[in-house]
Structure 1
């Protein structure tokens, strides 16, 4: 596999045993610039991943470019995820770590990924007394996704594809009998979640 992204990019470090390594090159040229950020991050200080340094831990905030959130989800870099910079090349390419996974990002892509020195929920205290099941929230109420239920983590991938990431706020539109399904409004989009999908989310009331 050719690891060279452009003339200014250096190849990523050699893979070590036990690592799961993924590399992403630059995004398509000429795509429309359009910064996509979660609501909870719009007032936060953010900057390109390409400007980080080795050993630094940062949180993914968003992506500059058309279809940015889909690109992040495809890379496993969901908004709110903490990553540690393992390697940063002069050309702008970056190698980050998420637990045992190593993700190499080309210079152009790293320039478009926005990060923050603080979590998206920084300054917002998580109160366990406000946490509840999504299907138990009444119509018209509002909530925020806090995390994923580890017991039902098999639904995480589908929820990510629906944009249900930690920090995302939503409104309850309709709750069917027995809580199956639950209809919610997220970023002007109507979503319908089945009981098991809804129970896979750890949410808190606002």
Structure 2
């Protein structure tokens, strides 16, 4: 597949060192589900990634249908993540950028990924005034994971395996001196997070 970012005849710029490219083809999980979505206005709250245009910045909201979400999470396309559309093909395939990463999404998959023009949290505009560091929350308080710190994204895979997915709610059980570690309750499970792990989460107070 040839990705065309613009229509001019100039040669594409030299690829910067450190760029990474990944392509997601259409999902093939064996489900007999309807992948067609109704035409959605871009002015509505959510719409498919396949309806975006080149140069547009959008926020990932969610995924329609079964399967595929774990693949998206593994590549950083978690709900709340901002992406910029680098290329949009007539057939619906999309190339998006997250910092130095380039992710190609097939037409079928792009049709299932819902995005928004505004950053969202649980279907509402994210309130930055309620965001805080996990280790700064007092014992007994409750919070919700809204995103992941891109600077400390190396901890993201481990956090996902622990169930700390975007949107999950938790309670603070204990905060050690200097915030290392922090003990929390998530879905009836007790977890202990070290300082760097806790700081890799963007959370909001409930």
State if a TM-score over 0.5 links the two structures: yes
Which has the larger displacement, 116-125 or 136-145? 116-125
Match of residue 131 from structure 1: 131
SS of aligned partner of 1:197: helix
In 2, the alpha carbon distance for the partners of 1:184 and 1:126 equals 23
Deviation of 1:159 after TM superposition, in Å, equals: 2.0
Gaps of 5+ in 2: none
SS of aligned partner of 1:14: coil
Which has the larger displacement, 38-47 or 161-170? 38-47
Deviation of 1:75 after TM superposition, in Å, equals: 2.6
Match of residue 182 from structure 1: 182
Deviation of 1:104 after TM superposition, in Å, equals: 0.7
TM-score, normalisation: structure 1: 0.67
SS of aligned partner of 2:120: coil
Q: Check 1:151–1:20 CA distance in 2 against 1; reply closer, same or farther (3 A cut).
A: closer
In 1, the alpha carbon distance for the partners of 2:191 and 2:147 equals 18
In 1, the alpha carbon distance for the partners of 2:106 and 2:196 equals 37
TM-score, normalisation: structure 2: 0.67
Q: Check 1:76–1:152 CA distance in 2 against 1; reply closer, same or farther (3 A cut).
A: closer
Gaps of 5+ in 1: none
- Paired residues of 2:35 and 2:111 also in contact (CA < 8 A): no
Aligned CA RMSD, in angstroms, stands at: 6.6
- Paired residues of 1:60 and 1:83 also in contact (CA < 8 A): yes
- Paired residues of 1:9 and 1:89 also in contact (CA < 8 A): no
In 1, the alpha carbon distance for the partners of 2:143 and 2:131 equals 9
Deviation of 1:155 after TM superposition, in Å, equals: 2.0
Deviation per CA, 1:14-55, whole angstroms, max 9, x where unpaired?
977663211111111532759999999999821211121222
In 2, the alpha carbon distance for the partners of 1:5 and 1:29 equals 30
- Paired residues of 1:95 and 1:102 also in contact (CA < 8 A): yes
Deviation of 1:158 after TM superposition, in Å, equals: 1.8
Q: Check 1:14–1:74 CA distance in 2 against 1; reply closer, same or farther (3 A cut).
A: farther
Deviation of 1:114 after TM superposition, in Å, equals: 1.2
Q: Check 1:89–1:151 CA distance in 2 against 1; reply closer, same or farther (3 A cut).
A: closer
Deviation of 1:61 after TM superposition, in Å, equals: 0.9
Deviation per CA, 1:76-129, whole angstroms, max 9, x where unpaired?
211111111111112211111112221111111111111111111499787787
Deviation of 1:11 after TM superposition, in Å, equals: 17
